[in-house]
Amino acid sequence: MSKTRNYKFRLYPNDSQEYKMQNNLAVCRWVYNKFVEQAQKGFLSRNDLNYILTELKQQESWLYQYHSKILQAVSAQLEGAEKALIELNKKGYRPGQLRFTRYNKYCTFTYSQSGYKFETHGDKTLLYLSKIGYVEIRQHRKIPQNCTIKLYHKTNHSDKIKGLQMVCMCNM
């Protein structure tokens, strides 16, 4: 039986990286809303959503500027939400339906399996994120080799991502 362990670290992006991260969130929100639009017609599996993503990329060539795993993670998130609504419905609740997300409500993007690596440059630990670059990280404990990284931030009433938190989810 494997355990999942989470490690939280703080990222310190420069202005250019912060802008790219904000763009990643905006694109993920846009893809999520496109998926919700399609899901309102009926249940869609993760494979269906990834196929829709492929079609979206063909129609909107600017989507190629973003790491594919980030966009595919949106389909996993939406499929999980659909399944949760179905389970609630089976238990007798009236959960409603999936809703579109607003600008300040979508605050997660995920790198899983690839698109990231940790490097030490002098006394600084840097996290390389594909399509973003090297971001300074304050690492207070050692990260196991095989882990999935999930990046998220919480906004209060600001559009700033300064002090973005990173979560490493590790199966042990």
More confident residue, 81 or 169: 81
Fill in the amino acid letter for 81: A
Cα(6)–Cα(163) distance, integer angstroms: 18
| Residue-level pLDDT at 139 | 79
Over range 79-86, report the average pLDDT. Answer: 90
Residue 158 has pLDDT above 60, yes or no: no
| Residue-level pLDDT at 52 | 94
Residue positions counted in the chain: 172
pLDDT digits (tens, 9 = 90+) for 89-141: 899 998 888 889 887 778 888 887 788 888 888 888 888 888 999 998 887 88
43's tokens: 């249940």
Phi-psi sector, 42: left (phi>0), alpha (psi -120 to 50), beta = left
- How sure is the predictor about 160, in pLDDT bands with cuts at 50, 70 and 90? low
Kindly tell me the sign of the dihedral angle through the C-alpha atoms of 25, 30, 35, 40: positive
Cα(58)–Cα(151) distance, integer angstroms: 27
Phi-psi sector, 92: left (phi>0), alpha (psi -120 to 50), beta = left
| Residue-level pLDDT at 152 | 59
Based on C-alpha coordinates, what's the Rg of the chain? 17
| Residue-level pLDDT at 161 | 55
| Residue-level pLDDT at 155 | 47
Residue 10 has pLDDT above 90, yes or no: no
Close Cβ partners of 74 (under 8 Å, ≥ 6 residues apart): 28, 31, 32, 35, 49, 53
Query: Taking the domains of the chain in order of start, what are their residue ranges?
Result: 4-14+106-171, 23-90
Residue 157 has pLDDT above 50, yes or no: no
